[in-house]
Amino acid sequence: MSDEIVARQPQAPVYETDEPITYRADGPVAWVMMNRPQFHNVQNSQMTYALDAAFARAMADDAIKVIVLGGEGKHFSAGHDIGTPGRDHLVPFDRAFLFGDHSTRPGAELLYTREQEVYLGMCRRWREMAKPTIAMVQGACIAGGLMLAWVCDLIVASEDAFFQDPVVRMGIPGVEYFAHGFELPPRIAKGFLMLGERMPAARTYQFGMINEMVPRDQLQAKVAAMAHEIASRPRLGNWLTKQALNHVEDLRGKRTAMDAVFHMHHFAHAQNDLVTGHSLGGLDGAAMAKANKRQAGEG
Ligand code: ZN
């Protein structure tokens, strides 16, 4: 075993919950909720695979017609877990794809293998689920949080919601599921990434990035009403409709652009590793939160 691999041996994650995702069926609607509110629903592998299992459960149940994805607590999701005791990026899980065990791989291959599976692979799989999905977004939707909102067919946000991808601070051109240039006009997307500022829900509404914006106390009722309405449509019609629009996006280059940028993203991880010895350029969750708060004038 090389020194490099020894240095990557994981500290065992300390999970604060056995249930990072909760699942509730309400008639034809499945409510899938991220459940790490004390950590602003940052996503570790435990959560990612639980999320995949929850979606599989909703897909296997013919009574479920629509799937809602939300987050418990103040925020939808503050991104990928880069700093809680439950960070488990070096832990092997039962894999959903045939890329192999990332945790045994040397150098840049480790992260490349992991992110093919848990980020790009999972997000595409969830985008293509054969039932309509609605993201219910409040508070922060940052970086990895964007990926989860963007894979859903519809996004309903509360007025307090904001969207942000600040990973250019790490020298990385946006999160792994690169839909930025499709979710926003290209010049707006450049500013969104280069400045990495919080974009309020009202601003994203101007670009059609979200479907509806409502006061925080009306968010759940609005999403429930939409979900039940969509659930009354024919199942196959709903599936074909989402496929039709996904296909249009892919014809416009979404899939191929995302493949290209995924590799740029990994070039950036590798460059960080070469120059700083750390794939995130030496920044962790606390450092990113501090920089974001300073930028937002909060600290
Ligand atoms: Zn990455």
What's the gap in Å between 25 CA and the centre of ligand 1? Answer: 33
pLDDT at 8: 56
**Residue 156 pLDDT grade (very low, low, confident, very high; cuts 50, 70, 90):** very high
Give the separation between CA 200 and CA 296, rounded to whole angstroms: 12
**Residue 157 pLDDT grade (very low, low, confident, very high; cuts 50, 70, 90):** very high
What's the gap in Å between 65 CA and the centre of ligand 1? Answer: 33
pLDDT at 87: 96
**C-alpha dist (Å) from residue 254 to 139, 175, 261:** 27, 15, 10
What's the gap in Å between 118 CA and the centre of ligand 1? Answer: 10
What's the gap in Å between 112 CA and the centre of ligand 1? Answer: 8
What's the gap in Å between 44 CA and the centre of ligand 1? Answer: 13
What's the gap in Å between 47 CA and the centre of ligand 1? Answer: 17
**C-alpha dist (Å) from residue 36 to 44, 78, 155, 171, 233:** 10, 11, 21, 28, 33
pLDDT at 1: 35
Summarised one tens digit per residue, pLDDT across range 265-283 is 999 999 999 999 999 999 8
Contact 93, 15 (CB under 8 A): no
Q: What percentage of the chain carries pLDDT values higher than 90? A: 90
What's the gap in Å between 177 CA and the centre of ligand 1? Answer: 9
What's the gap in Å between 217 CA and the centre of ligand 1? Answer: 34
pLDDT at 299: 66
**Residue 244 pLDDT grade (very low, low, confident, very high; cuts 50, 70, 90):** very high
Nearest to 269 by CA among 178, 176, 192, 165: 176
pLDDT at 44: 98
What's the gap in Å between 264 CA and the centre of ligand 1? Answer: 10
Question: What is the identity of the amino acid at 85?
Answer: P
Domain 3-218+235-295 sits in which CATH superfamily?
Answer: 2-enoyl-CoA Hydratase; Chain A, domain 1 (3.90.226.10)
Residue 104 has pLDDT above 90, yes or no: yes
Contact 56, 122 (CB under 8 A): no
Summarised one tens digit per residue, pLDDT across range 216-230 is 999 999 999 999 999
Summarised one tens digit per residue, pLDDT across range 106-145 is 999 999 999 999 999 999 999 999 999 999 999 999 999 9
**Residue 293 pLDDT grade (very low, low, confident, very high; cuts 50, 70, 90):** confident
Domain boundaries of the chain, sorted by first residue: 3-218+235-295
What's the gap in Å between 230 CA and the centre of ligand 1? Answer: 34
Residue 121 Rama label (left phi>0; alpha psi -120 to 50; beta): alpha
Summarised one tens digit per residue, pLDDT across range 1-44 is 334 444 455 579 999 999 999 999 999 999 999 999 999 999 99
Per-residue pLDDT, averaged over 188-199, amounts to 97
What's the gap in Å between 283 CA and the centre of ligand 1? Answer: 13
What's the gap in Å between 61 CA and the centre of ligand 1? Answer: 33
pLDDT at 42: 98
**Residue 297 pLDDT grade (very low, low, confident, very high; cuts 50, 70, 90):** confident
